[in-house]
Homo-oligomer: A and B are copies of this chain.
Amino acid sequence: MKFSVTVTLKKNVLDPQGKVVENTLKNLGMLNLKSIRQGKFFEIEIEEKNEEVAKKKVNEMCIKLLVNLIIEDYKIDIVK
């Protein structure tokens, strides 16, 4: 069973890396760019047939290692 996890910085957390990308793109002539924020993405494959159980496992991975809950939000999706 495959999942995708998207990790983004919370709204009020500064994103210096994203800011650099934003400035670089503006310097490249992309003047109608309003904002860009960078996050992380994980493709996770699990050996587990039960969707509920698998999703719980992925959630556990996020909490234990992948996501810093103080400054980041995350979203888990099933990949069909």
Q: Which residues of A are in contact with B by a Cβ distance under 8 Å?
A: 4, 6-8, 18, 21, 24-25, 28, 30, 32-48, 57, 60-61, 64-66
Number of copies: 2
Cβ contacts A to B, 17 pairs, < 8 Å: A18-B42, A21-B66, A30-B57, A30-B60, A30-B61, A32-B48, A32-B57, A33-B45, A34-B45, A35-B43, A35-B44, A35-B45, A36-B42, A36-B43, A37-B43, A38-B41, A41-B41
Indicate if the CB atoms of A6 and B41 lie closer than 8 Å: yes
Overall SS of chain A's interface = strand
A18 to B45, CA, bound (A): 12
In the assembled complex, which residues on chain B have CB atoms less than 8 Å from the CB atom of A41?
Answer: 6-8, 38-41
